[in-house]
């Protein structure tokens, strides 16, 4: 099999964790970046959940596309499944994305399962910030996750006004 693409919209942007030979900005239509997943492991606990990003239906999302050599397919997919499917709140899908140059390719992406108990739904920025503040999990505190994601998006010139609003409420400047 040939090379394949992986779409990153959150922590995969700043910490992909897998070998790739090319990175491009890309847009996924039909899904938006959202703090819509209660985190029971990485950024919170079952007793004190945090929030992490998911791709939820509606709108579009600008992120990064990573081109992976075909010979690494099994290794990279196994890594992504171990990372993204810890509690099975995400569904692995192959979706069409548009690369910055206008070319459309298919990419592996992880979308939120709206039927899963960890699906938080469409929270407003104030409610999302209240959940994020003070939550800590195996990968660290939730505030750092939100701020780091936003900093990396901004460094790439990617705007996410809702996430910016949440971040301002979590860590006022």
Give DSSP secondary structure letters for the chain. Answer: ---EEEEESSHHHH---S--SEEEEEEEEEEEEEEEEEESSSS--SSS-EEEEEEEEEEEEEEEEEEE-GGGHHHHHHHHHHHH-SSS-EEEEEEEEEETTS-EEEEEEEEE-TTSTTB--S--HHHHHHHHTT-EETTEEHHHHHHHHHHHHHHTT---HHHHHHHHHHS--
Catalytic-residue membership of 71: no
Torsion of CA 100, 102, 103, 107, to 10 degrees: 50
Of 71, 75, 82, 84, the active-site residue reads 84
Paired strand residues for 90: 112
The CA distance from 35 to 32, in Å, is 10
Which are the catalytic amino acids?
84
């Amino acid at each position: 099999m040939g090379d394949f693409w992986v779409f990153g919209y959150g922590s995969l942007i700043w910490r992909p964790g897998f070998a790739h030979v090319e990175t491009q900005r890309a847009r996924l239509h039909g899904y938006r970046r959202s703090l819509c997943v209660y985190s029971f492991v990485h950024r919170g606990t079952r007793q004190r959940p945090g929030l992490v990003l998911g791709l939820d239906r509606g709108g579009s999302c600008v992120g990064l596309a990573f081109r992976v050599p075909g010979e690494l397919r099994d290794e990279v997919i196994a890594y992504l499944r171990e990372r993204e499917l810890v509690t099975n709140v995400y569904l692995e899908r192959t979706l069409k994305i548009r690369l910055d140059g206008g070319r459309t390719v298919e990419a592996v992406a992880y979308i939120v399962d709206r039927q899963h108990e960890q699906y938080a739904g469409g929270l407003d920025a104030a409610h999302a910030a209240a959940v994020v503040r003070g939550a800590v999990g195996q990968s660290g505190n939730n505030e750092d996750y939100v701020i780091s994601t936003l900093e990396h998006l901004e460094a790439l010139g990617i705007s996410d006004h809702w996430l910016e609003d949440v971040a301002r409420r979590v860590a006022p400047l």
